[in-house]
Chain A
Amino acid sequence: MDFADRYDSSRRSRISRFKPIVLVLAPLLAILFQLYVPRFATFFEMLNLPLLVVVYFSLMRRMPVLGILFGASVGLVQDSLSSQPLGVLGIVQTLVGYFAASMSLRVDGENPAVRLFVGFFFFLFHQFFYWLLVRALLGAVIPVELVDNLVMAVLNCAVGLPLFALFDRLKMK
């Protein structure tokens, strides 16, 4: 067995598989959560569960192609349910899915510290590219609140940890 085969076999052993229904329902419920729960508790507006779902599944599937398509799908559904044009969040989530899946090829996605860092990093990544696209493509100005974004990033990565542990239970053996 040469290096490429060993690398390929070790990578395949670290790929997590999920049932298709999980891949459909998890982002759907995350989007529903983001639409519904902040009506009763505005605190949950700071959470970005669809982003965490995209990050997790891209990280665990370790397939950039799947990450791209998964991110694009989730982003377009989010755009469809909002008032802004289709494509803004689609592009952002596509980038998140691709880079999360690419990162998973080099780091251990099941390490809690890695998960915390990934959650924190990709929240800021998402906010930055969203601000950039809205400003460049739509001409709208979103105020840059660095401290708020940092706090929300910490919050999301803290919520992401138990959420990722919950998704781990949905893995196919």
Chain B
Amino acid sequence: MEAFFNRYRHLSLLVVVVFAQLILLAWQIKTNQEARGVRVWAVTAVTPLARFIEEVRYKTAHFFSDYVVLSGVQQQNLQIKRDLDRLKLENQNLRNEVQMADRVRALASFVKESQFKYLGARIINNAPGTNSKVVYIDRGSTTGVMRGMSVLTPDGIVGKVVSSYPTAAQVMLINDPTFSGAVISQKNRTRGVVKGQGHVKMILDYVQNEEQLEVGELVFTSGEDRIFPKGLAVGKVASVKDGVQFKEVVVVPSGFREGLEEVLVLIEGGHQPLPTATTPVTNQVTLLPEPTGDDAAGNKFEVAPDKMKTEADKVLERYKQIEQWNGGQMGTSGRIPNYNVLPAAPAPATATPPVISGAKPALAPVKP
């Protein structure tokens, strides 16, 4: 037996070692355990070395790239800059989209509340020319835009269609040097013609020096030019001063307040009344005393009481006097007074001029 094992010692050892491993394997499968003792030894022997190698590799790689070549940092920096530029553009585009959405919402609200028919359009480009204020919109004759139609925004008029093509239309803005339109002021109802100057501000021409016009007064279309219907906002009076023959008035248009991107073309419109001017409300009301005046001789004048009465009051008073004189009253004593017979005339009063409505009352001289 011993000779057998000596002769085949290698094979015997092989069988023993393989058999031992088979037993180990079978035990692990049967008991579902993983022979942790052996694994701990193997992992403890291998992992520190692996950790050390990884540390060396990491530091070497980063040292080389960060401090020697800087290729990674430079590329990273360039990439970050590109991403930043792209994000800035995206942010700006999104802001523009939000602003456009707000404008479109305002347009839609204006159209919805208005009784007229509008067509939304977008300005696509400007016409060439140094001082020309002519733009193109993306609506043309195929969508109903015709020459002469008004172009406006919810804030006011911005121009008129001067040419219409199948897919686009040319619009002259109100600040174009060749533009003019008939307007009327809101408070004083002063009429004039507004003209473009090639820049933001416009002038209001043909306003007599004697006419009333205030700074801050709103100006609307009057409808007299047969282009813009009456009642559309034009702008606000910025300055007023007397000129040689006409006032020199500057008007700031209101239609360009929010910038000019989307506009409305008035397809079917009509005249509408001007909105009423609202007066500022104050808490305290101050009443002036009754007016008095002096004539050239130094006599003081005061207003006669009966001159403050209307014609109807005078007629009623006369009827009462007739009734008192006749001793009867209509509908009470069965006796109808004769209203055609005037009672005895009272003491003559001094002659006074007739009172005209709206004018200042006449002053009766009173002897001191």
B215 at the interface (CB under 8 A from A): no
A138-157 vs B: 1/0 string, CB under 8 Å? 10000000000000000000
Decide yes or no whether A68 CB sits under 8 A from chain B.
yes
Most buried by B among A31, A87, A90: A87
Q: Does A167 contact B (CB under 8 A)?
A: no
A77 contact set on B, CB distance < 8 A: 42, 45-46
Interchain CB contact under 8 A, B25 and A137: yes
Provided the pairs A86-B28, A88-B25, A137-B25 are in contact, do residues A94 and B50 lie with their beta carbons within 8 angstroms?
no
Count chain A residues whose beta carbon lies closer than 8 angstroms to a beta carbon of B: 26
Tell me the complex Cα distance, A117–B38, Å. 34
Known A32-B50, A85-B28, A85-B29; judge A94-B17 contact (CB<8 A).
Answer: yes
**Chain B contact residues, majority secondary structure:** helix
In the complex, which of the residues B10, B21, B28, B46 has the most CB atoms of chain A within 10 Å of its own CB atom?
B21
One of A36, A68, A138 near B10 (C-beta < 8 A): A68
Contacts of A81 in B (CB 8 A): 39, 42-43, 46
Chain A proximity mask over B23-45: 1 for CB below 8 Å, otherwise 0 = 01100110000110011011101
Q: Which B residues are in CB contact (< 8 Å) with A55?
A: none
Asked if B268 lies at the interface with its beta carbon under 8 angstroms from chain A, I say no
B46 proximity list for chain A (CB < 8 A): 28, 31-32, 35, 77, 81
- Chain B contacts of A36 at CB under 8 A? 50, 53-54
Q: Is the CB of B49 within 8 A of A28?
A: yes
- Do A80 and B42 touch (CB < 8 A)? yes
Q: A94 near B14 (CB under 8 angstroms)?
A: yes
A159 to chain B, nearest CB (A): 20
- Which residues from B are CB-within-8-Å of A88? 25
Asked whether A90 and B42 contact (CB < 8 A) given A36-B54, A65-B10, the answer is: no
Question: Is there a chain B Cβ closer than 8 Å to A102's Cβ?
Answer: yes
Contact present for B21 and A72 (CB under 8 Å): yes
Complex interface residues of chain A between 46 and 100 (CB less than 8 A to chain B): 64-65, 68-69, 72, 76-77, 80-81, 85-88, 90-91, 94-95, 98
Instruction: Provide the B284-317 mask, 1 if CB < 8 A to any CB of A, else 0.
Output: 0000000000000000000000000000000000
In the assembled complex, which residues on chain A have CB atoms less than 8 Å from the CB atom of B24? Answer: 86-87
Q: Which of A11-40 contact B (CB under 8 A)?
A: 28, 31-32, 35-36
Q: B29, A80: Cβ atoms under 8 Å?
A: no
The answer to whether A32 and B53 touch (CB under 8 A), given A65-B13, A80-B41, A86-B24, is yes
Docked Cα-Cα span, A87 to B25, in Å, equals 6
Known A77-B42, A80-B42; judge A68-B17 contact (CB<8 A): yes
B18 proximal to A (CB < 8 A) = yes
Distance in Å: Cβ of A87 to nearest Cβ of chain B:
4
List CB contacts (< 8 Å) of B132-147 with chain A: none
Q: In the complex, which residues of chain A have a beta carbon less than 8 angstroms from the beta carbon of B10? A: 64-65, 68, 98, 102
The answer to whether A94 and B49 touch across the interface, beta carbons within 8 angstroms, is no
Known contacts A68-B13, A91-B18; decide if A86 and B35 are in contact (CB<8 Å). Answer: yes
Pick the contact of B14: A31, A35, A68 (CB < 8 A).
Answer: A68
Q: Is B22 an interface residue (CB 8 A)?
A: yes
Docked-complex contact A86 and B38, CB < 8 angstroms: yes
Task: Output the least CB separation between A20 and chain B (Å).
Answer: 15
A76 to B46 CA separation, bound complex (whole angstroms):
13
Residues of B within 8 A of A80 (CB): 38-39, 41-43
What is the bound-complex CA distance between A150 and B17, given in angstroms?
29
Indicate if the CB atoms of A138 and B29 lie closer than 8 Å: yes
A32 to B47, CA, bound (A): 9
Residues of chain A within 8 A of B13, CB atoms compared: 64-65, 68
CA distance A69 to B17 in the complex (A): 8
Distance in angstroms between the alpha carbons of A62 and B294 in the assembled complex = 147
Q: Which 10 A-B pairs have the closest CB atoms?
A: A80-B42, A87-B25, A64-B10, A87-B21, A85-B28, A80-B39, A90-B21, A87-B24, A98-B14, A77-B42
Binding site for B on A (CB under 8 A): 28, 31-32, 35-36, 64-65, 68-69, 72, 76-77, 80-81, 85-88, 90-91, 94-95, 98, 102, 137-138
Known: A64-B10, A81-B43. 15 other contacts (CB 8 A): A32-B53, A36-B50, A65-B10, A65-B13, A85-B29, A85-B34, A86-B24, A86-B28, A86-B38, A87-B25, A88-B25, A91-B22, A94-B18, A95-B18, A138-B29
